[in-house]
Chains A and B, each alone.
Chain A
């Protein structure tokens, strides 16, 4: 009985902390419509700051506690709202997800920069680990009591806030209709900011309370993911109801403790199930949630895409393969590894183009589907050992099909989910894969399969494909094979978008209700595009594994998937080139730049600290590019293409660009400049060319209205000099009248060209 009570207490405490974290999440979601993936990272940062203040700098515990929960927490909330979240009103769901994911990744990088992750840190409970009292034979620590009391107070407090205080009621009203709230005399921005401040403060509270309960050691990723577990609790309340969220949180806490406490001791996998429990619950809750009604026209979003023609895509595909061929010739042979990895990641990123770009559905964990493909391919297709090992076509094929089937299996129950809910369901699946499948590193006796290991010794060495006459062990050949495969897949996807199927996907994205009414089977569309996407991700992951040589469970972590998804969206998820951008940033950018800074750091004593910091700054900068999606939701590639579009009329500018590129190539060829200088030079040329065009031949590049604006800006006359060399036009006279307070006369009809006149007046 005592044991049961102890388990119950531990479960309740865990549930209480979950409840605190989840209620902050629900609060910000209901008031701003933004699901804050960074909530866990905020809790993690707060925990670290609390450690720094109380242990690092020796401040008294109450002071540190107040500073973190009541000062730092609200400040981060206000800052997040001011800089990012209030701009996220009229954007697609995927953009909202990516911006908060970027904040998450940035915060994790930031914490690892400030607090070196290789040092061990631990936080004791408030009032120490040993102060306690006994109740019914159970030892209760004061810290645990505080968790319970805080959660209970919060439950009541939030209820009162939302129903009994005007601020709380305005917080609920701002979701309904911000404009109407303004007409009632409130500032909706300030209301949303208040809720972000409260939400962030709750994240901070959860962060400070959870660390000692969960063992006491501070580790950035674990802490961040711990709070992600609360997504399941928040989902219990459909992201709206605070009381149901509390029930969900307590259920999670109790279930995981009982599971661990009462399972038979020879079930060694129960620990993994306990870790996976929140994700299992999240998945199940998502499946049984009442169905979202089909929405008619989705609100107009800021994302803009242009559908390229197949011929255009084919032209670029040929050019791409040619460029890759040149690179295999000029690049340092030792550097081909990152190139192949980048291309393989690009293929994985390509899986997002039909799914997210065309159909508007979100899959946050392409790498988890890939992991399935890699495991299946490894078990079915690899023969030989050591250097003689090869991967058979059969393995590649079966692995890809397996990924597609698993994709279908996951998508089938989740089909009625859309947007954020589907994204969370895929994330739950990713969590399941990493805790249940990828952790199977020791042999086990399976029912049909016999004695076998899913992920032998936590590392899978994936040999190259046995491609007959092509020797893929040669890096350059493998690189070319990947380039050709990427080009072919890219053109195929563009062709798909231009086909009837692609248009049906686009229709489903724009308005599911209208598409259903036109007789489209949404189920079939979603299922097929999800399977297609999972298959591409699987294929890409198998190739990635053989490009990298060997993969560990860490390669398929949710965080890695999130980074890939984020960078693909940054590049432009509706474009094949956006996938290329994402793949190269993940496959090449990270490793190359971190490697370079690492070498520099090791090679120079004087600047070691500087280079070390620079690599951290770079990691944060990558996260910041994700935040930039907020300003530019259509993607970087789209931006660059749009800036090049006008240059079509200004051939000489393009010739200059090509010439500059060739000069740089030549200099690199004769080894006057290194690879880095070459890459930076090419980047500068690409970015500066549109600017050059505007300066050099404005009349060919600028549009009519831009030109008109240009001229009018040049022709602005100060008011006192007007009418000296010509009569005033009626509009000027009108303005002068208003200015002098003369009786206002009606403006003459502006029928002719009102918009032009407007332009000249600005």
Chain B
């Protein structure tokens, strides 16, 4: 019946003045027969930083994958700027300004730094502009520009991955476990960069296991448990709840 219902494009009857850049409504998703998301509702308004918190296996990664079009949905609705985009492919989503920095290292290990940056031109930016912005923000990358990305340190790789977000000027940035396996100093440097991007007007959805690293820059926080949004609130509220919800952060 869902398929019948969602055949036609729908939207809110009274459109809001500025629709949210990214909206997930009742999203369900599955890996093969195993359902992971059981109806996730999540909204990212323009210029907002939304932190997606929760323990391992809660469905955070799956949620951002669905939002970026990497994983097909089993039900529900995905909207970009109020437009329903169910079934969008990741490459089209990237072209529309949705930038996902995936979990782990989002770099091509067997390409050089320059070639990695070159590939970021797939969404429209020019090569010079990308290199300029990346090297300006992370000067170390310029020294390493002809080195294979896989041979750099974890922090440098993450800088390279984040350069794509810096240089391509996306509408919404999805970050998955930015802090994974990185030294605390590097992590805070990463989030400084993210904060700078936010100042430029980019909306951000950041999935993070370690809540305290991300709550300071967040406007809104959501806690995911067992494939559902368990709580939504301001960072302060969520911070207070955290220790009772789960042992983390």
Contact = CB atoms under 8 A, between A and B. Distances in A.
Interface of A: 166, 169-170, 172-173, 175-177, 179-187, 716, 719, 722, 732, 734-736, 738-744, 746-747, 750, 754-755, 758, 761-762
Contacts of A173: 108, 111, 115, 119
Contacts of B140: none
A738 B4 contact: no
Given A183-B70, A747-B39, A754-B38, 7 more contacts: A169-B115, A181-B108, A183-B102, A738-B5, A742-B13, A744-B25, A750-B38
A229 B3 CA distance: 54
Contact of B118 (A166, A747, A758): A166
Contact of A739 (B6, B39, B119, B120): B6
B2 interface: yes
A738 B23 CA distance: 13
B32 to A, nearest CB: 11
A536 B41 CA distance: 61
B231 interface: no
Interface-central residue, B12, B95, B118, B122, by most chain A CB under 10 Å: B122
Interface in B91-142: 91, 94-95, 99-100, 102, 106-111, 115, 118-124
A499 to B, nearest CB: 33
Contact of A738 (B10, B106, B122, B124): B10
Contact of A185 (B75, B91, B109): B91
Contact of A184 (B77, B109, B164): B164
Contact of B28 (A181, A741, A758): A758
A175 B39 contact: no
A716 B41 CA distance: 27
Contacts of B25: 738, 744
Nearest to A716: B1
Contacts of A172: 108, 110-111, 115
Contact of A176 (B28, B39, B109): B109
Nearest to A180: B106
B68 interface: yes
Query: Chain B interface secondary structure, helix, strand, loop or mixed?
Result: mixed
Nearest to B33: A755
Contacts of B26: 734, 738, 744, 747
Contact of B13 (A182, A734, A741): A741
Contacts of B184: none
A58 to B, nearest CB: 46
Contacts of B4: 719
Contacts of B110: 172, 175-176
B89 interface: yes
Nearest to B8: A739
Interface-central residue, B1, B94, B106, B121, by most chain A CB under 10 Å: B1
Contacts of B41: 744, 746
Interface-central residue, A185, A732, A761, by most chain B CB under 10 Å: A185
Given A172-B111, A735-B5, A741 B11 contact: yes
B66 interface: no
Contact of B5 (A169, A186, A719): A719
Interface residues of B, number: 45
Query: Chain A interface secondary structure, helix, strand, loop or mixed?
Result: helix
Contacts of A176: 108-111
B198 interface: no
A172 B110 CA distance: 8
A184 B122 contact: yes
B40 to A, nearest CB: 10
Nearest to A186: B122
A183 B90 contact: yes
A755 B32 CA distance: 12
Contacts of A181: 108, 119
Contacts of A735: 1-2, 5
The 7 closest A-B pairs by CB, nearest first: A185-B122, A182-B90, A185-B94, A739-B5, A185-B123, A747-B39, A176-B108
A666 B120 CA distance: 72
A180 B94 CA distance: 11
Contacts of A179: 70, 90, 102
11 contacts: A172-B111, A180-B108, A181-B108, A184-B122, A185-B122, A738-B10, A739-B10, A741-B13, A754-B38, A755-B35, A758-B28
A758 B74 contact: yes
B75 A183 contact: no
Contacts of B118: 166, 169
A57 B234 CA distance: 78
A186 B2 contact: no
B75 A761 contact: yes
Nearest to B30: A758
A488 B118 CA distance: 62
Contact of B119 (A166, A732, A750, A754): A166
Contacts of A755: 35
Given A732-B1, A738-B26, A184 B120 contact: yes
B125 to A, nearest CB: 10
Nearest to A162: B115
A758 B32 CA distance: 13
Interface string B11-44: 1110000000000011010000001001101000
A404 B25 CA distance: 64
A233 B110 CA distance: 23
B1 A182 contact: no
A746 B35 CA distance: 18
Contact of B75 (A175, A741, A758): A758
Nearest to A760: B1
A464 to B, nearest CB: 54
Interface in B56-105: 68, 70, 74-75, 77, 89-91, 94-95, 99-100, 102
